[in-house]
A and B are shown apart, each in its own frame.
Chain A
Amino acid sequence: MSAAAASPAVSAPAGGAAGCGDLPVLRERGQREVFCGLTGIVWLHRKIQDAFFLVVGSRTCAHLLQSAAGVMIFAEPRFATAIIDERDLAGMADANEELDRVVTRLIERRPDIRMLFLVGSCPSEVIKLDLSRAAQRLSKRFSPSVRVLNYSGSGIETTFTQGEDACLAALVPEMPAEPGRARSLLVVGALAEVVEDQFLRLFAALGVGPVRFLPSRRAAELPPVGEGTRYLLAQPFLGETARLLEGRGATRLAAPFPLGAEGTTAWLRAAADAWGVDAAKFDAVTAPGIARAKAALAPRREALDGRSVFFFPDSQLEVPLARFLSRECGMRLTEVGTPYLHRQHLAEELAMLPAGVTLSEGQHVDRQLDRCRAAKPDVTVCGLGLANPLEAEGMTTKWAIELVFTPIQGYEQAGDLAELFARPLARRARLMV
């Protein structure tokens, strides 16, 4: 299929115009202005403290990582790139030997590492370098001190946050089996530590537990999984991880995502319902958080109410964010773009979107820019490659990557989340030159 053949196709699912969950989706193909999944390393390497991420790729991949890591540069980051050179392309056997040599040098240098991820890239995928075989081979060699796993963060297969999905999916087979059918709650998706702790306190108050997190802070201490595992997705981009968890007997608790007071309450309720928590108790536990979130939201709502917002695709967080902005902040949705729409995981979210919103999946960036300029939104949510050029055209933008790097989930962060969108507007109003 060619890019030119990508005349905007509006597809309505069979069954027609039922609820909002059946919103038509504009599917486009063309240039996609998005990150590849390698970018996930930038936050995952901080989250999983005993893991190291070794990208097997080209100089481009190394350059991407350091550009995306930006000022988040640490004297000793836990990621690096094994840069493929011509000699590796000439002979595949040598490439494997070379990889073993690089990994050995790395592990000698970082004896504190317990888990090593070999991360596939476009070049390694295209030359079909078998990283899963390499991971097995190296795991054997460095066992038991280092476990070696692999996943792909290549741009041809993954978009931005899908890198986290691929990484977590690689961890699922490593999770120990939970013996018996003991019930436990697994929260899936990397969260800021402060947010994890808030959720832990809420679940404890509700009597829901034991609660575990994937990823865990240490790769060597993965949570167990089994028939009794109920899992809640904390992030909307975890399709493959969810599939593998179900393969190990876990059951998903369907819920919207914990953004804003409403999202957080519904998310907690899904777990509370599974644990049979009675309504009075649920209300008592959640009421203070809801009240605080509403109080924090009020001033921001004033700034955002009635303003319009346009989302370029980036992280798959766009749909839950749009739901939050429209329902809790009173914003008007123009277009909500997402790189990929997981209808099942987003069912609850889609049902809450207002009628008339344009959902788009995939991208033809120039056409989308045309639509954005025509829509003249008050706030445009987009990547760093578009933000300054749009600002220079007089538009107000919120760069989207920050939404992945900032704690935004849960009651205590609801105000901060709204603030991220209100601030660019406030700034524009302030500046007199």
Chain B
Amino acid sequence: MELAVWTYEGPPHVGAMRIATAMKGVHYVLHAPQGDTYADLLFTMIERRAARPPVTYTTFQARDLGGDTAELFMEAARDAYARFAPQAMLVGASCTAELIQDDPGGLARTLGLPVPVVPLELPSYQKKENWGAAETFYRLVRAFAQPRAARAEGTAPRANILGPTALGFRHRDDIIEVKRLLALLGVEVNVVAPEGATPADLARLTEADFNVVLYPETAGVAAAFLQRQFGMPMTRIVPIGVGTTRDFLREVATLAGVDAGRVEEACRLPWYSRSVDSTYLTGKRVFIFGDATHAIAAARVAAEELGFAVVGLGTYSREFAREVREAAKAHGIEALITDDYLKVEEAIATLRPELVLGTQMERHIAKRLGIPCAVISAPVHVQDFPARHSPQMGFEGANVLFDTWVHPLMMGLEEHLLGMFREDFEFSDGAAPSHLGHGPKAEAPPEPVASGPATWAAEAESELKKIPFFVRGKARRNTEKFAAERGLATITLETLYDAKAHFSR
């Protein structure tokens, strides 16, 4: 058993719902208890979809358990086919139905429905949402992809865009940007899937020359299958950030056999980041957490394109732990691989970064600790499905990243004035950046007490208060560590400045 306050991912059948809801002409019959229909509101409310997800639930109750729940499932499947007339059907079980072992796949077969039925085996007690999405998409691709025909000579190179799903963080706008990138290289888009695709579109996947994998978490398995089975190459680089987008363009150009040289960049990030107004961003200590793809990308952007210092990097995507560990090594830190919210909270509290880039959950942590925060990855809430165009990918995506990440920080002049004049009554220490009317008002909660016996002399304590609040936590921690290592009982003014000198080396 695992104690979960918040979970980063839902159960695997929610991943399957994300695929079914993204596609057209697919219906999902889910064996599940009454109550599991809550998942509909993820799509209708958080993503604001205007139609019900194409999911029929059996919603069995306790009184059904004594009777024939298998029959209940078959009725639901029959009804769903009759009412929705899908081109293909997914059938599967939720965690509770998995326990009663009715075998939806086998039952659906006996119905002899006139459309393909794809059974899903999603082990709910081992796997999670992204795995469920990847597995579902793979099963569908496997069921529908046709053998490849040779491409006619002289036609433009063609690619599929794989990975965007329902409830995906900025998937809607990333598709637009990536299509734009491909167009820059003269690469045509064959199929985008699962978002917007039908089973018939999946049958056409092999008409492309290669696959662009936008989100390895959801499309990696299917793309690897297409490579194995049909020799379709796939991209490995996810174009988030300026540098990575350039790398991506080169990778695509190679796969497409075209010249990457002539691409015009419409990106403001490099200039914005070089302009002197951004100098104060240098070395800002940032903590990054999210799914593997977004966390790895954010770390590179933070370090190479904004000049931050990455002090923490982690992911809840265990499937991609190796990649994240490697990325962390490049920043000289150790990756945090966990889906335990409490461990992430602990890490942030200990590291005391000046900015947190994370998920909806890190937003809670950052709010509690009074640290500025921006969201870079799912899970996200309704405000991160914005009305405006807000990609993360490509050159416009990089512009969005610059604005989003810098926004929660105090502006430069304000930061200087706070360091110089500590007693202004309006413009006070620890107040939110003044362009954010709301923000955390309270002083950050007491920092974890150092285990060492050192106590703060009054004079040193008041000097500590003169250090700007966003680095004060770190100064306190360093000083206490310094004192503990030297066995000092009291922290004096000298200790404070000795420690400052020691750590600035």
A80 in contact with B44 (CB, 8 Å): no
**A68 contacts which of B5, B14, B38 (Cβ < 8 Å)?**
B38
Of residues 20 to 68 in B, which have CB atoms within 8 Å of A's CB atoms? 33-42, 44-46, 48-52, 56-62, 64-65, 67-68
A3 in contact with B75 (CB, 8 Å): yes
Stretch with Cβ within 8 A of B (4 or more), from A101-109, A250-258, A417-425:
A101-109
User: Does A388 belong to the interface (CB within 8 Å)?
Assistant: yes
A389 in contact with B38 (CB, 8 Å): no
A56 vs B4: C-alpha distance when bound (angstroms): 10
Q: Could you tell me the distance in whole angstroms from the C-beta of B249 to the nearest C-beta in chain A?
A: 38
B99 in contact with A126 (CB, 8 Å): yes
In the complex, the chain A residue whose C-beta lies closest to that of B126 is A86
In the complex, the chain B residue whose C-beta lies closest to that of A362 is B61
B44 in contact with A156 (CB, 8 Å): no
Report if A105-B3 is in contact (Cβ < 8 Å); known contacts: A58-B125, A59-B11, A126-B99.
Answer: yes
B35 in contact with A122 (CB, 8 Å): yes
Stretch with Cβ within 8 A of A (4 or more), from B76-84, B171-179, B185-193, B474-482:
B76-84
A39 vs B35: C-alpha distance when bound (angstroms): 9
User: Does B326 belong to the interface (CB within 8 Å)?
Assistant: no
User: Does B7 belong to the interface (CB within 8 Å)?
Assistant: yes
Residues of B within 8 A of A154 (CB): 33, 35, 62
Residues of B within 8 A of A63 (CB): 7, 10-11, 14, 39
B7 in contact with A155 (CB, 8 Å): no
A95 vs B124: C-alpha distance when bound (angstroms): 17
A421 vs B138: C-alpha distance when bound (angstroms): 45
User: Does B464 belong to the interface (CB within 8 Å)?
Assistant: no
A34 in contact with B96 (CB, 8 Å): no
Residues of B within 8 A of A179 (CB): none
Report if A75-B40 is in contact (Cβ < 8 Å); known contacts: A62-B7, A156-B33, A156-B65.
Answer: no
A38 in contact with B35 (CB, 8 Å): yes
B7 in contact with A84 (CB, 8 Å): no
User: Does B94 belong to the interface (CB within 8 Å)?
Assistant: yes
Report if A31-B95 is in contact (Cβ < 8 Å); known contacts: A36-B34, A85-B2.
Answer: no
Of residues 71 to 113 in B, which have CB atoms within 8 Å of A's CB atoms? 71-72, 75-76, 78-79, 83, 94-96, 99-100
Residues of A within 8 A of B35 (CB): 34-38, 64, 122, 154-156, 159
A102 in contact with B68 (CB, 8 Å): no
In the complex, the chain B residue whose C-beta lies closest to that of A401 is B41
User: Does A293 belong to the interface (CB within 8 Å)?
Assistant: no
Q: Could you tell me the distance in whole angstroms from the C-beta of A429 to the nearest C-beta in chain B?
A: 21
Residues of A within 8 A of B5 (CB): 77, 80
Interface residue count on the A side (C-beta < 8 Å): 66
User: Does B364 belong to the interface (CB within 8 Å)?
Assistant: yes
A392 in contact with B381 (CB, 8 Å): no
Of residues 114 to 158 in A, which have CB atoms within 8 Å of B's CB atoms? 122-123, 125-127, 154-157
A154 vs B34: C-alpha distance when bound (angstroms): 9
**B52 contacts which of A68, A71, A106, A385 (Cβ < 8 Å)?**
A385
B34 in contact with A155 (CB, 8 Å): yes
User: Does A1 belong to the interface (CB within 8 Å)?
Assistant: yes
B276-298 vs A: 1/0 string, CB under 8 Å? 00000000000000000000000
A34 in contact with B2 (CB, 8 Å): no
User: Does A198 belong to the interface (CB within 8 Å)?
Assistant: no
Q: Could you tell me the distance in whole angstroms from the C-beta of B55 to the nearest C-beta in chain A?
A: 10
User: Does A33 belong to the interface (CB within 8 Å)?
Assistant: yes
In the complex, the chain B residue whose C-beta lies closest to that of A127 is B99
User: Does B500 belong to the interface (CB within 8 Å)?
Assistant: no
In the complex, the chain B residue whose C-beta lies closest to that of A89 is B125
Interface size on B, as a range, is 35 or more
Q: Could you tell me the distance in whole angstroms from the C-beta of A89 to the nearest C-beta in chain B?
A: 6
B50 in contact with A392 (CB, 8 Å): yes
Q: Could you tell me the distance in whole angstroms from the C-beta of B444 to the nearest C-beta in chain A?
A: 12
User: Does B368 belong to the interface (CB within 8 Å)?
Assistant: yes
A70 vs B379: C-alpha distance when bound (angstroms): 12
A30 vs B345: C-alpha distance when bound (angstroms): 43
B56 in contact with A31 (CB, 8 Å): yes
Q: Could you tell me the distance in whole angstroms from the C-beta of B31 to the nearest C-beta in chain A?
A: 12
Report if A157-B61 is in contact (Cβ < 8 Å); known contacts: A36-B33, A89-B125.
Answer: yes
Residues of A within 8 A of B14 (CB): 60, 63
Residues of A within 8 A of B126 (CB): 85-86
In the complex, the chain B residue whose C-beta lies closest to that of A74 is B364
A105 vs B3: C-alpha distance when bound (angstroms): 9
Residues of A within 8 A of B36 (CB): 36, 60, 64, 155
Q: Could you tell me the distance in whole angstroms from the C-beta of A368 to the nearest C-beta in chain B?
A: 13
In the complex, the chain B residue whose C-beta lies closest to that of A88 is B1
Most buried by B among A60, A75, A157: A60
A73 in contact with B364 (CB, 8 Å): yes
A82 vs B3: C-alpha distance when bound (angstroms): 5
User: Does A387 belong to the interface (CB within 8 Å)?
Assistant: yes
Q: Could you tell me the distance in whole angstroms from the C-beta of A42 to the nearest C-beta in chain B?
A: 11
B368 in contact with A75 (CB, 8 Å): yes
Q: Could you tell me the distance in whole angstroms from the C-beta of B37 to the nearest C-beta in chain A?
A: 5
Residues of A within 8 A of B2 (CB): 82-83, 85, 102
A34 in contact with B1 (CB, 8 Å): no
A425 vs B100: C-alpha distance when bound (angstroms): 45
A298 vs B76: C-alpha distance when bound (angstroms): 47
Q: Could you tell me the distance in whole angstroms from the C-beta of A259 to the nearest C-beta in chain B?
A: 25
Q: Could you tell me the distance in whole angstroms from the C-beta of B358 to the nearest C-beta in chain A?
A: 14
Q: Could you tell me the distance in whole angstroms from the C-beta of A118 to the nearest C-beta in chain B?
A: 12
A58 in contact with B3 (CB, 8 Å): no
Residues of B within 8 A of A30 (CB): 59, 79
User: Does B128 belong to the interface (CB within 8 Å)?
Assistant: yes
In the complex, the chain A residue whose C-beta lies closest to that of B84 is A366
**A32 contacts which of B1, B10, B37, B364 (Cβ < 8 Å)?**
B37
Residues of B within 8 A of A58 (CB): 11, 95-96, 124-125
Q: Could you tell me the distance in whole angstroms from the C-beta of B264 to the nearest C-beta in chain A?
A: 36
In the complex, the chain B residue whose C-beta lies closest to that of A399 is B45
User: Does B142 belong to the interface (CB within 8 Å)?
Assistant: no
A4 vs B125: C-alpha distance when bound (angstroms): 31
In the complex, the chain B residue whose C-beta lies closest to that of A105 is B3
Residues of B within 8 A of A386 (CB): 40, 44, 52
B50 in contact with A34 (CB, 8 Å): no
User: Does A384 belong to the interface (CB within 8 Å)?
Assistant: yes
Residues of A within 8 A of B7 (CB): 59, 62-63, 66, 81, 83
Q: What are 22 A-B interface contacts by the 8 Å CB criterion? A: A31-B57, A34-B37, A35-B35, A58-B11, A59-B7, A59-B128, A67-B41, A75-B365, A76-B368, A82-B2, A82-B4, A99-B1, A102-B1, A122-B95, A122-B96, A126-B65, A126-B96, A156-B61, A157-B62, A366-B83, A385-B41, A385-B52
Known: A37-B35, A155-B36; 15 extra A-B contacts, CB below 8 A, are A3-B76, A31-B37, A31-B58, A36-B35, A73-B364, A82-B4, A86-B126, A89-B99, A98-B1, A106-B3, A122-B95, A154-B62, A155-B96, A156-B96, A385-B38
Chain B positions near chain A (C-beta within 8 angstroms):
1-7, 9-11, 13-14, 33-42, 44-46, 48-52, 56-62, 64-65, 67-68, 71-72, 75-76, 78-79, 83, 94-96, 99-100, 123-126, 128, 364-365, 367-368, 381-382
3 nearest A-B pairs in the assembled complex, by CB-CB distance = A155-B35, A36-B35, A385-B40
